Structure 1
């Protein structure tokens, strides 16, 4: 019998500082700059991941407060003006940066500090490494060339990496910068707790310093304490009024007391997963595991609250920030390591005067704190500060968080509604005040509707190998795409599962624009290009191209006089389905526009693409021109109804990386018989096409009870499918659904049942039908 070697756990955790304690990562946004501090011997690496992005740097000696590019082996460049001009701007960010530099003795900001590292001619992944000869402050910038929607030169981000020559002997990264000037700032070490007061309107930031560390939080009404009443956050009331067990930013992310009065609201969350109102860890929990006398959060909280006259409890129901719990199918609570990464935080705003208590959890006997408890940092900020409501998204696990953004149209949509949702990192309206989803839906079907869809990701694909790359990475035959034409395509993994879907615009012989929903699509394209050695650039343009859709039978009449097109372009009234034009708003001197005859509603419609600085002007002109035609603002709720009726698929519903295009109902995007070139996933899709297991169908459901995404579909006792999307159609008055079902039950007219409760105790009768409920011949959209 062979002797077994020890088995070692080596999880891949690219975002954790503890795995590489001497390395720090930073991001420079396109058109912006980032400030970093360097010590003697530190290596600064600057990378242009997408290519074609210029880079500038300004360096200052922290001892002398003087320009010091020579300390990085650089020489000042007289024409490097972007970084210096940006630091001198009156904008709040520049003022804050100047104040931070002044604290380090750097007052004079002149051109002797600035260097152009490279111009706009770099290949993807271009890198430069610099070693500091003395303590420095470096300002690295990604200059903007002022791109517009009719060009493909949007500024993109740079990536910075610092390898410290003498990393600190600690398992924690440097402290992140405060969001504003703190009123109070303190660190809570593992196994301790601290109580503090927060006044109405002030903010509390609970920050995970090193990542994977839980922090329990409880708050009491200060005025009630002064009356002798201990009025704290109530878990039952909070869960009931929110309809959710987990906190999230926005107007509905409030925590309540037992009198149903709001005490706190969540303003920011860079993690996205917590537990709410399980007990903070208790002495009894550790004793049950055999660890007698172990420090615990509940006893620590009781001790911290004692000076306020609050009676101790053996277990405190708390907001368990960063605690990663879930409820399994067998109704058992399970836990794993937190999702939080170094510097992640939750920002709360007090809605009344509070006494708060926070902990740094001491749990080191299970994964709750990644097996290694670390520090929690608390900061409070004044009520005068204005901090945006936002969540965070990351394109990869080790990417910097990007907070929820507002599109160029947000000022106009926000004047019409307060009902916004975070959709893929952007605030988009879900419905509009004084309208509502049904009215918005009917406006689109009968007249016209306008919707902000700026959350769509836009990527420029440029270079002599652009066509070859897209031919290899998309399922469609890109070689057949003419300049000025648009095509809808799937993007697949090698196993045939879908990475994303989107539309591809051909702007020139070697110039394309890929519009999709997934940030990772661009990373995937770059990885394939690098593996094949292709000469191609994939440039992010989402922040510089925002878009609205004008959909409905009156859309052409609204836009025909608004969009000016040069003689070489088709006039808007002549624009064919899945074609584009580049023109101007109003006349040849107006803001540049791109118009595509595309949409997501099943109606005649167009999408207008512009630079964010022109967005309000575009909205105002379209809105004004549309009023005589009954133009109505439309949110995501109505859009979802429209696309379900039209049989249009949605990521996370009709498709995922486990679903191929045939199963998703878009097999027409995979021309296996006519596309001669190989593409990613082709072999797998040929196998899947020859032996299909599941297909997308429609369901017509008897009765009026609600059906939802994820409901099981049965034939007798056996489950044979799953509902992917469902709605009650205002047009037909019927309950309808899209369903991924076993091919044995996919025949039109087949009788099935939709299961509720456990799938057996409650059933709705349904019949299989085509997955397009509205205008299956596409006569309206082609009109």
Structure 2
């Protein structure tokens, strides 16, 4: 073998990236400590422990314990001279006899009094983002790391919300863990068993009980069957039916929420999905079977169908050559050519699906033995099964990860959910929160007219908030968003685009200036906060902190012509803040509800309806009280609650764009209809995407326009737009406008056909066999000069 010369550089081969599945370094383990939370990890002598303050300005409390649970202050060589406030608060908040936190339960089991524990304090009020401290472990024991934090003051301009910490353990003996630890049970299980790789198991559950199926090591398919136990006793076999389920749910497979039930052939719901931390499963394909393997030349291969037949024989269930099953964790889809495709499962170690039995069931679960294709990433592993009592109650949720490496966050309720749930059962999962789509007794059209003619109140808490703080805060935002932040005054808000290097929009946002060095960034995407921190690091701005504050700040929108009258007597402001009555468009004030003793709030003259309107920002703990106050003040004005369905109509009429529909990271602000957010002539400072936007503006190819459709048939997102045979655009958003009594749409179209009055066709079916005539019109369709929100 000839050694490479200087002219032949060695190129290292790149590894396949599997974020969240494999540790990049053998022996390195990573754990997350949530804001206000506690994480405990077993350690051994020689291990290196590193605590990372990811967002900065976050106090860390580190407590060391011996294997028997007793205090071990010399384990890490730290001076534990401060009270372990987070552990003490956890113990104080626990209900007597009902300790559910595993860390606290372990401490109490060893007879420890959390009130006596001490901690070493790391980081603090001004620690830079990414700060880290590393310690060597002297012997075996446990390391407990807490990220203490309380309520961020809504009425102050120097808020520092609690943020997460990262705990890294570099093992002295980097042995690969054979099996990742399972997450603890959600409650005391009735059944807690392992389904070994390449086997199946049958079991019975009663109506109302919960079935949790967990992927132990990740990327492992688990087929699931369920039959009505009562029908089996009658000699009738009634199991999960794909056709009935899809017919009623309108989806390839049910997901938590309104469309979460699985039906049998008699159209009876057998089970309901309660939680899903994966979000991608097979669409009722056959469980692997003898014929599948024989056709590929693997004769006699063990398979799920034969395993099921053996397990179900005792229940009198007739054997099949291939069982149509709910294939949990498996990853299949139909592509644009209508071909069935499949790839490795999306599931991570410990991911699970939680289902609730609607009737008494006979069930069977498998750990699929397929090792000849990506079904189990070529390496079959175990599946774990837990069954919980019907007396338990679990929140309905899906999982979200900001980046693949970060832990999953389950769908949550907003601060106003106790009030909205009393008014409707129509909720949908929106960006990690449950939001109402419409309200019982009203409906989208009624809610729409309330906003156009009177007033409406809406929960918009899923908007992502970030506190951007420090001497370099203005410089970071000036370099990261398209608007000129240097021109932003205190108590002013500005709407902006956020672009990548190619000019594509990764988010849109509003930026509030609270003080000279304090800003509040409100966007739609959780990832934008991570991206802002990356920009700060790239630019070398080490005196700025981007702190996630969504959990500290929920918000209601009060919109409509009467919104000012609704809030006029409700909002009190001190002399140091603008008076509510003086708020002009895109300004805000900090005050209280009622009087100077009232609930602290921020009130901004902003909204997403195209009407005069305001948003009220408060701490989540004050959410129900804020709703009650607004609701009572709005009652004399005919105010109604507003859901997502009505909001969509309002914002399309008003020409307000929506991420994922009207723009994404391949669409620039000019193509998205928000070119006014890019002041290329007046903003001299460089910002991300500036060069690309200069080129795009000089050579535009597409433009966002309004379409008015003939007839009564609406367009839909994704419909093709044609001139003659060829496609020239695509519908991004569409609705039936109640006030205009027309079908309208937003369309991204080639500039050659973007002039007002241009005749086009909206294609349905294949785009050729059915066409709806349309023409390009001025937009916003409603109040194009925005006189109403300015009023």
Q: Please report the TM-score for the alignment, with normalisation by the length of structure 1.
A: 0.97
Asked if structure 2 preserves the Cα contact closer than 8 Å seen for 1:249 and 1:389, the reply is yes
Moved more, 489-498 or 123-132: 123-132
Q: Alpha-carbon deviation of 1:228?
A: 2.1
Q: Distance in 2 between matches of 1:72 and 1:84?
A: 21
Shift of 1:288: 1.3
- In structure 1, the residue matched to 2:462 is 455
2:590 aligns to what? 582
Query: In 1, are the aligned partners of 2:87 and 2:114 still within 8 Å (CA)?
Result: no
Equivalent residue, structure 2, for 1:32:
37
**CA distance in 1: counterparts of 2:66 and 2:217, whole angstroms:** 29
**1:463-508 Cα shifts (integer Å, max 9, x gaps):** 1111111000000011111111000000000011111001000001
Could you say which residue in structure 2 is the equivalent of 1:327? Answer: 334
Q: Which residue in 1 is equivalent to 2:786?
A: 778
- Kindly indicate whether residue 231 of structure 2 is the aligned counterpart of residue 227 of structure 1: no
- SS of the aligned residue for 2:510 comes to strand
Match of 1:81 among 65, 78, 85: 85
1:56 CA drift (Å): 0.8
**How much has 1:136 moved relative to structure 2?**
2.2
Q: After superposition, where does 1:5-84 map in structure 2 within 5 Å?
A: 10-17=15-22, 22-63=27-68, 65-84=69-88
Alignment deviations for residues 245-303 of structure 1 (CA, whole Å, 9 cap, x no partner): 12210232001111111110000011111123111111111111111111211111111
1:265 aligns with 2:269: no
CA deviation string 1:431-471 (max 9, x = no partner)? 11111110110000000000000000000001111111100
For residues 305-332 of structure 1, the C-alpha deviation after alignment (integer angstroms, 9 at most, x for no partner) is 1222212111111111111111112211
Separation (CA, whole Å) in 1 of partners of 2:458 and 2:41? 40
Query: SS of the residue aligned with 2:201?
Result: strand
With over 3 angstroms needed to count, the CA separation of the structure-2 counterparts of 1:590 and 1:94, relative to structure 1, is: farther
d(CA) in 2 for partners of 1:236 and 1:121? 59
Where does residue 483 of structure 2 map in the other structure? 476
**Separation in 2, partners of 1:238, 1:296:** 25
Structure 2 Cα separation of the partners of residues 670 and 270 of structure 1: 39
SS at match of 1:276: coil
> Which position in structure 2 is the counterpart of 1:312?
319
> Do the aligned partners of residues 253 and 746 (structure 1) sit closer, same or farther apart at CA in structure 2, a change above 3 Å counting?
same
Q: Give the secondary structure class of the aligned counterpart of 1:652.
A: coil
Specify the alignment match of 1:560 in structure 2. 568
Q: Contact 1:247/1:276 (CA < 8 Å) preserved in 2?
A: no
Partner of 2:248: 241
CA 1:422 to 1:20, structure 2 compared with 1: closer, same or farther past 3 Å? Answer: farther
Count of residue pairs the alignment pairs up: 781
Aligned equivalents of 2:88 and 2:203: distance in 1?
42
Q: Residues 129 and 529 from structure 1, CA distance in 2 versus in 1: closer, same or farther, beyond 3 angstroms?
A: same
Q: Report which stretch shifted further, 410-419 or 43-52.
A: 43-52
Give the CA deviation at 1:99.
6.3
Q: For residue 429 of structure 2, give the secondary structure of its aligned residue in structure 1.
A: strand
**Paired position in structure 2 for 1:280:** 287
Q: Give the Cα separation in 2 of the matches to 1:527 and 1:318.
A: 44
Contact 2:257 2:429 in 1 (8 A): no
TM-superposition CA deviations, 1:678-734 (whole Å, max 9, x none): 110000000000000100000000111131100100111101100000001111111
Aligned pair partner of 1:530 in 515, 537, 542: 537
Please name the residue that 2:511 is paired with.
504
User: What's the offset of the Cα at 1:20?
Assistant: 5.2
Task: Report if aligned partners of 2:84, 2:117 keep a CA contact under 8 Å in 1.
Answer: no
What are the equivalent positions in structure 2 for 1:758-773 lying under 5 Å apart? Answer: 758-773=766-781
2:667 and 2:598 map into 1 onto residues whose CA distance is 44
| CA shift for structure 1 position 60 | 2.1
1:395-434 matched pairs, under 5 angstroms: 395-434=402-441
Determine the C-alpha separation between the residues in 2 that align with 1:167 and 1:231.
51
Displacement, 1:184? 1.1
> Of residues 643, 664, 675 in structure 2, which corresponds to 1:667?
675
Q: Which deviates further from its counterpart, 8-17 or 353-362?
A: 8-17
Structure 1 Cα separation of the partners of residues 103 and 507 of structure 2 = 42
Moved over 6 A (4+): 2-9
- The answer (yes or no) to whether the contact 1:247–1:274 under 8 Å persists in 2 is no
Counterpart-to-counterpart distance in 2, 1:88 and 1:780: 51
Inter-partner Cα distance in structure 1 for 2:283 and 2:272: 13
Q: Give matches, 1:25-424, under 5 Å.
A: 25-63=30-68, 65-91=69-95, 95-97=100-102, 100-101=105-106, 105-151=110-156, 152-167=159-174, 169-424=176-431
More displaced 10-residue stretch of structure 1: 631-640 or 26-35 = 26-35
CA contact (8 A) 2:87 2:115 kept: no
Q: Secondary structure at the match of 1:439?
A: helix
CA contact (8 A) 1:21 1:173 kept: no
Q: Is the 8 A contact 2:465 2:521 kept in 1?
A: yes
Contact 2:287 2:324 (C-alpha < 8 Å) held by counterparts? yes
1:611 aligned onto 2:619: yes
> Secondary structure of the residue that 2:325 maps to in structure 1?
strand
> Residue deviations 1:617-658, cap 9 Å, x none?
111011001000001000111111100000000000110011
Does the C-alpha gap of structure 1 residues 91 and 30 become closer, same or farther in structure 2, counting only changes over 3 Å? farther
- Per-residue displacement from partner, 1:121-161 (whole Å, max 9, x unpaired)? 31101112233333323332111143221231211111222
Per-residue deviation, 1:384? 1.3
Residue 656 of structure 1: aligned partner:
664
- Give 1:703's match in structure 2, choosing from 703, 711, 721: 711
Shift of 1:201: 0.9
- 2:757 maps to 749
Contact 1:87-1:98 within 8 A present in 2 as well: no
**8 A contact 2:671–2:702 mirrored in 1:** yes
TM-score (norm 2): 0.96
- Match of 2:652, SS state, is helix
Question: In structure 1, the residue corresponding to 2:364 is in which secondary structure?
Answer: strand
**Structure 2 portions without partners, runs of 5+:** none
Determine if contact 1:230/1:310 at 8 Å carries over to the other structure.
yes
In structure 1, how many angstroms separate the alpha carbons of the residues matched to 2:327 and 2:11? 36
**Which moved further from structure 2: 597-606 or 302-311?**
302-311
Alignment RMSD: 2.0
Alpha-carbon displacement from aligned partner over 1:586-642 (angstroms, at most 9, x marks no partner): 111111110100000000000000001111111101100100000100011111110
The match for 2:580 among 550, 572, 578 is 572
Q: CA deviation at 1:32?
A: 2.1
Measure how far apart 1:109 and its partner are.
Answer: 2.6
Shift of 1:772: 0.7
Secondary structure of the residue aligned to 1:543 is helix
Structure 1 unaligned regions, length at least 5: none
Note if contact 1:215-1:361 (Cα within 8 Å) is conserved in structure 2. Answer: yes
How many Å separate the matches in 2 of 1:81 and 1:362? 49
Q: Distance in 2 between matches of 1:506 and 1:489?
A: 13
Q: Distance in 2 between matches of 1:301 and 1:113?
A: 54
Query: Matched residues in 2 for 1:78 and 1:459: separation?
Result: 30
Of 514-523 and 175-184, deviating more is 175-184
* Aligned counterpart in structure 2 of residue 544 of structure 1, from 527, 531, 552: 552
In structure 1, the residue corresponding to 2:529 is in which secondary structure? helix
Q: 1:89, 1:95 within 8 Å by CA — same for their partners in 2?
A: no
After TM superposition, the structure 1 stretch with the greater mean CA deviation from structure 2, 617-626 or 25-34, is: 25-34
CA change 1:722–1:125 in 2 (3 A) is same
- Give the distance between the partners of 1:77 and 1:86, measured in 2 at CA: 19
Once residues 291 and 306 of structure 1 are traced to their aligned partners in structure 2, the CA distance between those partners, rounded to angstroms, is: 25
